[in-house]
Structure 1
């Protein structure tokens, strides 16, 4: 698929996709006319990258952990510096806190909807 299609399917700008490529997060082949061609698997990869960026991870760390998201998993231990481990531990804690907050908010919205629906249904009777 060409860069425009990947951009559309992932809701990611072409500029960001080129940046991901510069950072070594995704790769493209070049067609004879010079267009970038991406494999279908990069749809999921770009979505994973965006999720990790949204979680606060820098691209240098994302590049190291992306192989862990593939099947079969390939983990590069020599790249695991104490700084990287510390950064990942901090990010993991931040993600866990975010998940707890989202879970709490989801449950509150669900409770509210249940109450509103129950009230609406009791009024209809």
Structure 2
């Protein structure tokens, strides 16, 4: 399928699909006319990318775990590497939340009560 059809089937703009490709998240071939072509599996891959991005993962992390992310984007089959990565990312997120709470408390202490 061409990039326009992949865009229509996934709701992701062609510009963003090209970005995913530059980041090593999505593969395409080039037809004789130079146009990008994608296989039918690209629809699932894009949905998985979107789900992992929505979960707070960056493209570098997604690139490492995407090969073991199987299944529907709303319910990924988790391989051990993906489980380990998600746990590590969750711990890092908890640390950032704790830090933000501390900073918020410090900032709020400057304001008068009321």
Structure-1-length-normalised TM-score? 0.59
Mapping for residues 13-52 of structure 1, pairs under 5 Å: 13-52=13-52
- When the two chains are superposed, the root-mean-square deviation of aligned CA atoms in Å is 2.7
Q: Which has the higher helix share?
A: 1
- Gapped runs of 5+ residues in structure 2? 72-76, 94-114
Structure-2-length-normalised TM-score? 0.64
Distance 1:4 1:88 in 2: 32
- Gapped runs of 5+ residues in structure 1? 78-84, 95-125
Q: Summarize deviations over 1:6-32 as a string: whole Å, max 9, x none.
A: 000000000000000000101100000
- Displacement of 1:55 in angstroms is 1.0
Deviating beyond 3 angstroms after TM superposition, the runs of 4 or more aligned structure 1 residues are 90-94
- Displacement of 1:70 in angstroms is 3.9
State the match for 2:108 in structure 1.
Answer: none
1:5 aligns with 2:5: yes
Distance 1:49 1:34 in 2: 25
Distance 1:92 1:69 in 2: 17
